[in-house]
């Protein structure tokens, strides 16, 4: 909402400065978004008198003027405007002034060899209009030497953000009322120009939809002369950011901008029969003033005559019955529409307008008569014509809401003590009526008041929120308990563990391009696709953290990064069996580029391999407190991974804690990455939480005797998984074998075709007495036998 | 005896002159060895009479001790020299680079979320979460924004299409929960207020940090960003408590005593009264630095978040008795306060995953915010 200070002062008698007014606006909840002072833009431009005009000696289209600026000697100015002539008054920009339209700073210069001390300006150059055919011509009585800004009446323009609960402040008058309540002046009464209506309204006005249009007031004015608006009106509309169109249109806009009361003027000649507020017929069409055709439905209210729809009620008038320069008779409309229906219609049609903004928030139902008289009076005064009596169809809501208020609530809820007298004064100055028992009757324009809390807000915002003192929250009794849940603590631990492993934490979009989400989609899970994405690249909610990280890695790669190690902790988005969101905490890792750069000691650069991924997966699971000793390495990491170099880590066959591996070359290609790239995903929701463990650890009982180790080398089938062999070796004598570990894998010379050699170090822990040779022999035999079941034979 | 002394003098000289351990050993064999002359001299003692022995023994013993010590000393010296020579030969060029462990980092958003959790834990706030794919009841209706509320349209909400309609290429309808609520991406963290109150009732003190979504994208807006919600519902809570809580938080967060807040009346459907929170700041070297009174010379006010007293309708929706309890709520932009504190200037870079940016603005994993060590990590 924009308005000039002059306009505000039409309604507010005040001596306050601009700064005091803007401070007050901020303080009472009308946030000042900007102040534009045209006087600043017009600094250095003066009313000037052209004393003489002579042709430029060296240019046909230029003249050399001598200009009186009101002080000192006349200045010589070169001017190219065809209308520049001796005797005229215009606007001179002095050296140093900056031309508003283009920012050019004027300076003394020579134009084709003739000295020029400034510039005579056109309307367009001063951003006062579009005219650039010649320089501004001021009336003969314009005082020479006056600052043009002052002469022009340029007034600072204030822009405030009006919150949606305050449609009553979507007119300058409402803002003046709030400022008056704040003590910044006195609200002036509304001056309605006098007019004498004669005769009944010649057009029948009806509302056939009392729910959608409870009240429809109208009046005909015949014999008007439309044309340009007077200067004061144009200036006010321009300050509000509106383009003046014609007197009749401008006056309806003025009523809306000054009083928050939208109005409409129909060209009576274009109407036939009764003018009726009714529901639209299904599929009915209207050509609106924005020259677009809208198709309506039966939930929408329209104003129509016998022939066609002329107005999408409360939103936009129709092109066919709009007033024009030729209009002589008008029908004026002031109405009250159901706010919810206006909002729904506007949303459905995707049609925004100043009228809709006000109607859907709720206009002042008590202002319909005043609004109609004001509009009529202004039309009669400025455009002539003879008005009829007003015709009122229906009636607006008239029942004032009464809130039983306890002034003590201001302290209890608002935290600030305000004397009862002052509370009463504030409420009354805002138009509330307060009786002796503090029953507060609300003005009908205040649709936002629901109960006592709203009245506290009114009192506190006018009294001053700055008077609210800080009061410490009472501290909770007792010992501080953890405030984070175990899931949150898990994420924090993992985040720091991952960073400590040398990974950079990224935060990537929750949404992906559909193809990327599809690429990582989980079988049996439909993607969440947005109906209204910002772009196709941000359309599908991610089913995995890897695609976002792969895309980030590709961007890093494109920037020339040698090595990218990214991780992210966030949610994957699935659907529960109930169709609702199932969001699962996940950690994703992508390792791309060089693991070690080429170096004097390490030789050639090395890429990441799948064991880097496995190591990371296990160390992160360890940090998460997962039981890493008992994990099974199984397949099915997903199609996005190298089929021979990827796996899942499971706790039991069904609980997948993590997947890791080298990314499939086809996936790399899809994500525009060179290989190889390793990736890990940890599924945090699958990691079992620690169950109510106590702080005290189990007692420390180191074994009395030292463990011994024995090495075994087996020839095994090439495709036997080392893990399987280790597991059966470990199980060969559970009482004695505490660990088994592969220390060599070999195939080639000396190893038969189709076989490989696996060397395992077995750690044996004696119990209460040392192993005898016989014990060791027996254990060895069990180990060899267990290995033998997998086709392993001891190497000689 | 003079022979022996001559031999001793010669032996000591030879020991001192031994060039290496082998030469030294030769001397040991020649003197103290089985056939060495010292051993031979000792053997002669056996053939002497007690008187002779008593006279000769000390001298011979002394010779033996002196030579043995000389050999030991020389041996130590030779070994030390040999070690020194070996070590000298093992000298490497230490200006060559050592293998470097990669340095990881924590994203500023996570760091600041941890800081928030720490500061608010001290004030007794627990950390709450809720789904990001929400329904319109929790996101709007229960927050006093019914279907026709104009504020709904101002939220630039992301919706999900009704798949049953989408497949038939008709007008795309709205995907709904089984009980008929529209499904959307939460536009703020406020629905967590509702979920938390419904789950645990009053009194309650929570913060709820997390991702939120608005269909808005320009230089200063991203369609995804981070917010933290705060909620206190208890008996006798008023605006003064809200002001104190935010002041206390901002002072702790920016580690400055001179934080000045300005509350301005505003409007949010879920609070009444509603206040916008401004903080005073100044410009230092092209950067906004929070602190000082916004009306002081060289200072201005900057909007940091919205807040207010929880609307009694919201309490009712969330199953809390508004006659017994009242409370306040606030919402702050996490990315925004992170930028203010740590000096980032481009929101879009937060979500790009540029390793250079992450390394530059990220935090060491050991910069874990704690009350004792400080919740902020200095550059």
> Token pair 């008023």 is at which residue?
B238
Q: How far is CA A754 from CA A644, A673, A715, A727, in A?
A: 18, 35, 10, 22
Identify which of A414, A457, A530 has the shortest CB distance to residue B238: A414
Q: Do B124 and A476 touch (CB under 8 A)?
A: yes
Per-residue confidence (pLDDT) for residue B361, from 0 to 100 = 97
Residues of A in contact with B161 (CB under 8 A): 529-531
Q: How far apart are CA A252 and CA A266, in angstroms?
A: 11
Q: Do B355 and A509 touch (CB under 8 A)?
A: no
- Do residues A631 and A651 make contact, with C-beta atoms less than 8 angstroms apart? yes
Per-residue confidence (pLDDT) for residue A231, from 0 to 100 = 87
Residue A683 has pLDDT above 70, yes or no: yes
User: What is the pLDDT averaged over residues A510-537?
Assistant: 93
Interface test mutation site (partner B, options A506, A548, A685, max chain B beta carbons within 10 A): A506
Identify which of A164, A505, A541 has the shortest CB distance to residue B110: A505
Q: Among residues of chain B, what percentage have pLDDT more than 70?
A: 96
Whether the bond into A397 is cis, omega within 30 of 0: no
Q: Where are the domains of chain B?
A: 2-88, 108-132+204-361
Residues of B in contact with A450 (CB under 8 A): 272, 313
pLDDT tens for each residue of A147-204: 888 787 778 999 999 998 999 999 999 999 999 999 999 999 998 888 999 899 999 9
Q: How far apart are CA A773 and CA A93, in angstroms?
A: 112
pLDDT tens for each residue of A19-64: 999 999 999 999 999 998 877 888 889 999 999 888 988 888 888 9
pLDDT tens for each residue of A602-642: 899 999 999 999 999 999 999 999 988 889 999 889 999 99
Q: Do A531 and B120 touch (CB under 8 A)?
A: no
B65-73 LR contacts (CB < 8 Å, sep 24+): B66/B8, B66/B12, B67/B8, B67/B11, B67/B12, B67/B15, B67/B31, B67/B32, B67/B38, B68/B32, B70/B12, B70/B15, B70/B16, B71/B15, B71/B24, B71/B27, B71/B28, B71/B31, B71/B32
A199 near B CB under 8 A:
no
Q: Do B105 and A499 touch (CB under 8 A)?
A: yes
Q: Do A495 and B110 touch (CB under 8 A)?
A: yes
Q: How far apart are CA A9 and CA A680, in angstroms?
A: 68
Per-residue confidence (pLDDT) for residue B171, from 0 to 100 = 41
Question: Closest Cα partner for A148 from A57, A259, A289, A38?
Answer: A38
Neighbours of A58 (CB within 10 A): 10
Please tell me the distance in Å from B32's CA to the nearest CA on chain A. Answer: 44
Question: Closest Cα partner for A548 from A574, A581, A518, A513?
Answer: A513
Pairing of strands B287-290, B271-284: antiparallel
Identify which of B244, B312, B326 has the shortest CB distance to residue A473: B244
Q: Among residues of chain A, what percentage have pLDDT more than 90?
A: 75
Q: How far apart are CA B176 and CA B167, in angstroms?
A: 16
Identify which of B99, B126, B133 has the shortest CB distance to residue A573: B133
**CB-count exposure of residue A149 (10 Å: 0-12, 13-18, 19+):** buried
Determine if residue A336 is left, alpha or beta; phi over 0 gives left, psi from -120 to 50 gives alpha, anything else beta.
beta
Please tell me the distance in Å from B206's CA to the nearest CA on chain A. Answer: 9
A651 near B CB under 8 A:
no
Residues of B in contact with A488 (CB under 8 A): 117, 127, 129
Q: Does domain B108-132+204-361 have CATH number 3.40.50.300?
A: no
Q: Do B355 and A556 touch (CB under 8 A)?
A: yes
Residues of B in contact with A550 (CB under 8 A): none
Q: How far apart are CA A209 and CA A206, in angstroms?
A: 9
Confidence of residue A672 (pLDDT cuts 50, 70, 90): very high
Q: What is the mean pLDDT of chain A?
A: 92
Q: How many residues does chain B have?
A: 379
Per-residue confidence (pLDDT) for residue B163, from 0 to 100 = 54
Q: What is the mean pLDDT of chain B?
A: 90
Q: How far apart are CA A408 and CA A449, in angstroms?
A: 18
Half-sphere exposure of A267 (CA within 13 A, CB side): 16
SS3 assignment for chain B? CHHHHHHHHHHHHHHHHCCCHHHHHHHHHHHCCCCCHHHHHHHHHHCCCHHHHHHHHHHHHHHHHHHHHHHHHHHHHHHHHHHHHHHHHCCCCCCCCCCCCCCCEECHHHHHHHHHHHHHHHCCCEECCCCCEEEHHHHCHHHCCCCCCHHHHCCCCCECECHHHHCCCCCCCECECCCCCEEEECCCCCHHHHHHHHHHCCCEEEEEEEEEECCCCECCECCEEEEEEEEEEECCCCHHHHHHHHHHHHHHHHCCCCECEEEEEEEECCEEEEEEEEEEEEEECCEEEECECCCCCCEEEEEEEEEEEECHHHHHHCCCCCCCCEEEEEEEEHHHHHHHHHCCCCHHHHHCCCHHHHHHHCECCCCCCECCCECCCCC
pLDDT tens for each residue of A217-238: 999 999 999 999 998 999 899 9
Q: From the first residue on, what is the mean pLDDT of each consecutive set of 10 residues in chain B (379 residues)? A: 80 89 90 88 86 86 90 93 93 91 95 95 93 95 86 82 49 69 93 96 95 90 96 96 97 95 94 95 91 93 94 96 96 95 93 96 95 87
Q: Do B326 and A413 touch (CB under 8 A)?
A: yes
Please tell me the distance in Å from A115's CA to the nearest CA on chain B. Answer: 42
Confidence of residue A482 (pLDDT cuts 50, 70, 90): confident
Please tell me the distance in Å from A470's CA to the nearest CA on chain B. Answer: 4
pLDDT tens for each residue of A378-389: 999 999 999 999
Q: Do A528 and B133 touch (CB under 8 A)?
A: yes
**CB-count exposure of residue A598 (10 Å: 0-12, 13-18, 19+):** exposed
Neighbours of A190 (CB within 10 A): 15
Element housing A39 (H / E): helix A38-41
Per-residue confidence (pLDDT) for residue A658, from 0 to 100 = 97
- Do residues A226 and A329 make contact, with C-beta atoms less than 8 angstroms apart? no
Per-residue confidence (pLDDT) for residue A523, from 0 to 100 = 87
Taking every pair of Cα atoms in chain B, the longest distance, rounded to a whole number of angstroms, is 132
Pairing of strands A563-575, A504-505: parallel
- Do residues A520 and A586 make contact, with C-beta atoms less than 8 angstroms apart? no
Which residue in chain A is spatially nearest to B217 when comparing CA positions? A534
> Token pair 């009076």 is at which residue?
A377
Q: Do A164 and B326 touch (CB under 8 A)?
A: no
Non-local (6+) Cβ contacts of B77 within 8 A are none
Question: Closest Cα partner for A366 from A505, A461, A260, A465?
Answer: A260
Which tokens in the block code for residue B238? 């008023």
Which residues in A664-754 belong to E strands, given as ranges?
Answer: 677-683, 708-717, 737-746
Non-local (6+) Cβ contacts of B206 within 8 A are B125, B126, B127, B128, B192, B193, B196, B229, B230, B231
Q: Do B354 and A495 touch (CB under 8 A)?
A: no
Identify which of B96, B232, B266 has the shortest CB distance to residue A163: B266
pLDDT tens for each residue of A558-602: 999 999 999 999 999 999 888 889 999 999 999 999 999 999 988
Q: How far apart are CA A542 and CA A576, in angstroms?
A: 15
Residues of B in contact with A602 (CB under 8 A): 99
Confidence of residue A475 (pLDDT cuts 50, 70, 90): confident
Q: Do A451 and B312 touch (CB under 8 A)?
A: yes
DSSP A264-286: EEEEGGG--S-EEEEEPPTT-EE
A112 near B CB under 8 A:
no
Which residues in A636-788 belong to E strands, given as ranges?
Answer: 641-651, 655-663, 677-683, 708-717, 737-746, 755-764
Residues of B in contact with A25 (CB under 8 A): none
> Hey, which residues does B330 pair with through a beta bridge?
B230, B307
pLDDT tens for each residue of B58-92: 888 888 899 999 999 999 999 999 999 999 999 99
Backbone angles phi, psi at A726, to 5 degrees: -60, -45
Q: Do A501 and B276 touch (CB under 8 A)?
A: no
pLDDT tens for each residue of A390-403: 999 999 999 999 99
Interface test mutation site (partner B, options A477, A507, A511, A671, max chain B beta carbons within 10 A): A507
Q: Do B104 and A508 touch (CB under 8 A)?
A: no
Q: Do A473 and B110 touch (CB under 8 A)?
A: no
Q: How far apart are CA A554 and CA A571, in angstroms?
A: 22
Per-residue confidence (pLDDT) for residue A227, from 0 to 100 = 92
Interface test mutation site (partner A, options B128, B171, B263, B353, max chain A beta carbons within 10 A): B353
Which residue in chain A is spatially nearest to B163 when comparing CA positions? A529
pLDDT tens for each residue of A497-509: 999 999 999 999 9
ipTM: 0.89
Half-sphere exposure of A103 (CA within 13 A, CB side): 0
Give the A window 579-638 contacts with B, CB below 8 Å: 579-581, 583, 596, 599-602
> Token pair 């939120």 is at which residue?
B212
Q: How far apart are CA A4 and CA A619, in angstroms?
A: 67
């Amino acid at each position: 909402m924009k308005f000039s200070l002059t306009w505000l002062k039409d309604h507010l008698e005040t001596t306050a400065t601009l700064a005091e007014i803007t401070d007050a606006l901020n303080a009472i909840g009308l946030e000042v978004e900007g102040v534009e002072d045209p006087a600043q833009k017009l600094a250095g431009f003066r009313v000037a008198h052209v004393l003489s005009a002579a042709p430029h000696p060296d240019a046909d289209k230029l003249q050399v003027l001598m200009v009186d600026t009101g002080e000192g000697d006349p200045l010589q100015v070169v001017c190219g405007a065809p209308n520049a002539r001796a005797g005229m008054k215009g606007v001179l920009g002095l050296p140093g002034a900056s031309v508003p339209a283009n920012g050019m700073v004027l300076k003394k210069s020579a134009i084709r060899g003739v000295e020029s001390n400034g510039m005579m300006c056109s309307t367009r150059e001063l951003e006062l209009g579009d005219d650039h055919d010649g320089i501004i011509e001021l009336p003969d009585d314009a005082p020479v030497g006056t600052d043009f800004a002052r002469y022009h009446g340029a007034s600072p323009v204030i822009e405030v953000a009006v919150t949606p609960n305050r449609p009553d402040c979507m007119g300058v008058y409402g803002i003046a009322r709030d400022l008056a309540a704040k003590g910044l002046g006195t609200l002036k009464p509304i001056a309605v120009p006098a007019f004498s209506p004669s005769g009944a309204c010649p057009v029948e006005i009806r509302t056939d939809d009392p729910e959608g249009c409870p009240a429809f007031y109208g009046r005909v004015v015949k014999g008007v002369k439309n044309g340009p608006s007077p200067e004061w009106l144009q200036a006010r509309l321009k300050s509000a950011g509106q383009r003046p169109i014609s007197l009749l249109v401008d006056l309806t806009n003025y009523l809306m901008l000054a009083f928050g009361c939208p109005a409409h003027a129909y060209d009576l000649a274009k109407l036939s029969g009764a003018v009726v507020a009714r529901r639209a017929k299904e599929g009915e069409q209207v050509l609106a003033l924005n020259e677009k055709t809208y198709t309506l439905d039966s939930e929408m209210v329209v104003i129509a005559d016998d022939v066609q729809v002329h107005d999408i009620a409360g939103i936009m008038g129709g092109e066919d019955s709009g007033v024009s320069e030729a209009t002589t008779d008008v029908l004026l409309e002031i109405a009250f529409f159901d706010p919810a229906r206006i909002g729904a219609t506007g949303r459905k049609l995707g049609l925004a307008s100043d009228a809709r903004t006000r109607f859907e928030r709720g206009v002042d139902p008590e202002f319909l008569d005043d609004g109609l008289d004001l509009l009529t009076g202004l039309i009669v005064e400025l455009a002539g014509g003879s008005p009829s009596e007003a015709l009122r169809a229906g009636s607006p809501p008239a029942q004032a809401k009464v809130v039983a208020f306890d002034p003590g609530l201001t302290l209890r809820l608002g935290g600030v003590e305000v004397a009862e007298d002052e509370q009463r004064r504030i409420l009354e100055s805002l138009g509330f009526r307060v009786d002796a028992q503090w029953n507060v009757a609300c003005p009908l324009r205040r649709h936002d008041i629901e109960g006592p809390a709203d009245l506290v807000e009114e009192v506190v915002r006018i009294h001053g929120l700055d008077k609210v003192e800080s009061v410490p929250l009472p501290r909770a009794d007792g010992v501080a308990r953890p405030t984070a849940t175990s899931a949150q603590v898990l994420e924090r631990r993992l985040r720091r563990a991952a960073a400590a492993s040398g990974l950079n934490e990224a935060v990537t979009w929750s949404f992906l391009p559909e193809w990327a989400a599809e690429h990582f989609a989980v079988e049996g899970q439909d993607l969440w696709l947005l109906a209204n994405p910002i772009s196709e690249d941000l359309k599908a909610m991610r089913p995995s953290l890897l695609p976002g990280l792969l895309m980030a890695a590709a961007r890093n790669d494109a920037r020339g990064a040698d090595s990218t190690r990214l991780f992210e902790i966030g949610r994957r988005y699935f659907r529960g069996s109930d169709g609702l969101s199932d969001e699962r905490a996940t950690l994703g890792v992508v390792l791309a580029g060089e693991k070690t750069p080429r170096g004097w000691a390490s030789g050639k650069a090395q890429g990441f391999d799948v064991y880097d991924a496995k190591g990371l997966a296990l160390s992160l699971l360890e940090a998460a407190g997962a039981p890493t000793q008992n994990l099974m390495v199984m397949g099915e990491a997903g199609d996005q991974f190298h089929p021979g170099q990827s796996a899942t880590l499971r706790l039991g066959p069904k609980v997948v804690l993590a997947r890791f591996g080298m990314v499939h070359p086809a996936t790399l290609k899809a994500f525009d990455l060179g290989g190889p790239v390793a990736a890990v995903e940890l599924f945090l929701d699958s990691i079992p939480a620690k169950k109510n463990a106590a702080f005290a650890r189990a007692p420390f009982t180191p074994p009395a005797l030292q463990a011994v180790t024995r090495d075994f080398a087996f020839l095994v089938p090439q495709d036997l998984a080392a893990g399987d062999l280790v597991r059966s070796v470990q199980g060969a004598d559970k009482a004695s074998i505490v660990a088994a570990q592969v220390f060599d894998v070999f195939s080639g010379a000396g190893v038969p075709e189709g076989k490989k050699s696996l060397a395992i170090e077995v750690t044996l822990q004696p119990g209460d007495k040392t192993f005898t040779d016989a014990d060791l022999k027996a254990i060895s035999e069990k180990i060899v036998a267990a290995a033998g079941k997998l086709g392993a034979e001891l190497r000689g | 005896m003079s022979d022996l002394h001559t031999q001793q003098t010669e032996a000591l000289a030879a020991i001192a002159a031994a060039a290496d351990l082998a030469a030294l050993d030769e001397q040991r064999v020649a003197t103290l060895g089985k056939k060495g002359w010292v051993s031979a001299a000792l053997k002669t003692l056996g053939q002497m009479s007690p008187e002779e022995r008593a006279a000769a023994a000390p001298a011979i013993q002394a010779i033996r001790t002196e030579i043995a010590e000389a050999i030991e000393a020389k041996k130590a010296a030779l070994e030390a020299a040999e070690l020194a020579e070996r070590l000298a030969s093992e000298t490497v060029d230490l200006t060559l680079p050592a293998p470097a462990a990669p340095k990881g980092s924590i994203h500023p958003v996570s760091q600041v979320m941890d800081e928030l959790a720490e500061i608010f834990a001290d004030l007794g706030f627990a950390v709450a979460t809720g789904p990001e794919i929400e329904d319109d009841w929790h996101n709007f209706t229960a927050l006093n924004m019914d279907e026709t509320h104009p504020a709904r349209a101002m939220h630039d909400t992301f919706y999900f299409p009704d798949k049953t309609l989408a497949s038939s290429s008709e007008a795309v309808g709205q995907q709904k929960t089984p009980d008929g609520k529209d499904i959307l991406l939460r536009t703020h963290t406020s629905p967590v207020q509702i979920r938390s109150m419904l789950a645990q009732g009053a009194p309650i003190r929570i913060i709820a940090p997390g991702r939120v979504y608005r269909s808005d994208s320009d230089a200063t807006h991203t369609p995804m960003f981070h917010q933290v919600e705060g909620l206190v519902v208890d008996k006798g809570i008023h605006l003064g408590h809200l002001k104190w809580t935010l002041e206390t938080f901002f002072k702790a967060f920016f580690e400055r005593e001179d934080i000045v807040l300005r509350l301005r009346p505003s409007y949010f459907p879920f609070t009444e009264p509603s206040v916008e929170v401004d903080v005073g700041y100044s410009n230092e070297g092209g950067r906004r630095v929070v602190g000082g009174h916004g009306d002081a010379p060289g200072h201005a006010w900057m909007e940091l978040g919205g807040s207010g007293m929880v609307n009694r309708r919201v309490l009712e929706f969330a199953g809390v008795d508004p006659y017994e309890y009242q409370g306040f709520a606030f919402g702050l932009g996490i990315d925004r306060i992170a930028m203010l504190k740590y000096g980032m200037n481009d929101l879009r870079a937060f979500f790009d995953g540029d390793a250079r940016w992450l390394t530059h603005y990220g935090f060491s994993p050991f910069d874990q915010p704690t009350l004792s060590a400080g919740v902020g990590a200095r550059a």
